[in-house]
Amino acid sequence: MNLFEKNDYLYPLFIGFVFFIASLLIMHNGHFHEDAYILFIYVENFVNGNGITYFPGAPPIEGATDFLWMILISILVFLGIDSGTAVLILNSVGVFIVSLLISKILLESKEESFRFKFFYFVLPLLWIPQSFLLAGIGGFSVYLYLGLISLAVYFIYHGEKCYLIPLVGIALSLFRPDGVILAIGFWLVSLYLCSQNKEFKKFAIYTLIAFVIGVVYFLWRYNYFGNLLPLPLYVKSSEGGLAGLGRNMKWINHDWTSVYLLAIVFLSIVFKKLRVVALYSVPAVLLYVALMFATQSQNIGYRFQAPLFIISFLIFVVLVGIYLRTEKDVRFSKFLITLPVIVLTVSSYKNVSDLSEITAFNYINEFPKKINELILSSNNNDVTIALTEAGRLAYWNQSAKIKIIDLVGLNTPYTAKNQLSIEYMESISPDIIMFHHARTIDIGNKDKVNSNHLVLSDRASFDPAGFKNPKRVDKVIVAANVASEYLFQHFDRYDVIAVDYREDGGFYHIYALKKKLGIKAGFLAALDDVFLQRRDLSYYQMK
């Protein structure tokens, strides 16, 4: 036991190191997620002196909502580390922080039994391979973000340090937009605790410091970007209503999450800690309610619900600590303690298996770089690309001669704050259009096609009269419908190709190349090469 106490950081450090090496090996055979490449665009433009923007020569654009995450990656990139490796390093730090705090909570039980050793070695590992594993290794800020959240929970656990929570809260707010909701919840809990243990003066001082930091940041970003909110928030709030309710309910039923949560509730009742658990849960409840009203696009691995999981998991760790200190088993306690471990172990196997998605072949990983080679080798200048898939294609086409318009609005101010229209499409007159048709149109007789792409010679597929979702107002569907209608009206000016990117007969990716560009032949040859060679070039090989 003394060995664990004196070296309480060694096991968590080992876990963080193994996570980094495993992540690195996986990414040497795969690619980051689409949205991760969007963040890489902002990071590398910022480091290269172009400002925080979506392509060289563009004005400041706030498409990267994870501001503090972007800054931390930028620091490492400035030091010579590539964006992808920087992400893996920072998420590994997050793994270390959470595992360390779990270890510290368990060590306070002062136990030396076998059951202590079991939980000490299992729990700091068990939280990692959950549903958000795919998002964390794929380039999102999940694990470092959870590290900050865990720090706030730990300060609640040690009530005498509650006055530090406002500083963690401002860090969460700068890290992700939903961090503001968590920060409010943690602040309310901190207010209650500090008023109880006579630390209110320190709490007020740190609250003031956090408030000043927040105000300075808000004034800076409004002056720099000219918008009250980051562009993705304009986009994701466009649907209205309880847009996220269904996704929240699916998370509750995913991987037996409901069983795991119910076990924690019953444990808190058995140990007579229901009021304490309710206090810990305030930030999670506020976030759950807020997510009910949010459009949860790109919610890979339920990453938006990851804070709910880590808060509940740390509550479970606290209850395990109580269980370890209990001289004899309280009725049902052994069963209720074991149940979450079994549930999370079973789900871990599935979540690790899902990582094959990162290393699976997909033409869109390599093909955008080939498009860039075609553009740069042509005699065309000032090429405009209008797209809905704003990650890989934009990342590999960062050039002073290429202007990139995000039709959904995540990275383009006009389309974020205004409804996309035919008139706007005509005003930008894109040289290349690339969009996911989002099942709004039908492309030919797919059952009889044996090719990975179709060269479309008939505009009928893009006739607005046949749209499947003409009344939906969310910006993804609007972008698909408007791009389709624009092609219907200007079909003769473009060479149009539909690509079966999932290789399931869907042909969801639509490319339209202005005929005057003269790159159709090279485009089709490059497309054939990617599908035929199936090289599975990784992010690192392409860099």
Domain ranges for the chain, please list them. 2-358, 363-542
Burial of 73 (0-12, 13-18, 19+ CB in 10 A): buried
Q: How many CB atoms are located within 10 Å of the residue 533 CB?
A: 10
pLDDT at 6: 64
**What are the Cα distances from residue 510, in Å, to 354, 357, 400, 442, 496?**
27, 22, 25, 12, 7
Q: Which residues contact 369 (CB under 8 A, 6 or more apart)?
A: 396, 542
Helix (H) or strand (E) holding 2: helix 2-6
**What are the Cα distances from residue 299, in Å, to 36, 131, 226, 303, 524?**
13, 11, 28, 6, 33
**178 token code pair:** 């939903």
| Global confidence as pTM | 0.94
CA distance 28 to 539: 7
Q: 402: phi > 0 → left, psi -120 to 50 → alpha, else beta; which?
A: beta
Burial 431-449 (b: 16+ CB within 10 A, else e): bbbbbbbbebbebeeeeee
CA distance 436 to 46: 28
Sign of CA dihedral 84, 90, 92, 98: negative
pLDDT at 470: 65
* 400: nearest Cα among 58, 42, 56, 44: 56
* 89: nearest Cα among 129, 35, 144: 144
CA distance 347 to 14: 23
Number of H helices, E strands in the chain: 26, 6
CA distance 125 to 98: 10
Residue segments in the chain with a per-residue pLDDT below the cut of 70: 1-6, 237-240, 327-328, 444-450, 470-472
* 16: nearest Cα among 91, 126, 88, 95: 95
* 124: nearest Cα among 152, 156, 95: 95
pLDDT at 111: 77
Q: Which residues make beta-bridge pairs with 413?
A: none
386: helix, strand or coil: strand
pLDDT at 520: 96
Residue 245 amino acid letter: L
User: CA dihedral in degrees (98, 100, 104, 110; nearest 10)?
Assistant: 120
Which stretches does DSSP call E strand in 482-540? Answer: 494-499, 509-514
Phi, psi (rounded to 5 degrees) for 159: -55, -25
CA distance 425 to 406: 11
Phi, psi (rounded to 5 degrees) for 295: -80, 110
**46 token code pair:** 């910022």
pLDDT at 443: 82
pLDDT at 14: 97
Give percent helix, percent strand, percent coil of the chain, each to the nearest 5: 65, 5, 30
Burial of 139 (0-12, 13-18, 19+ CB in 10 A): buried
Q: By the 8 A CB rule, do 15 and 527 touch? A: no
CA distance 518 to 522: 9
What is the tens place of the pLDDT at every residue in 158-190? 988 899 999 999 999 999 999 999 999 999 999
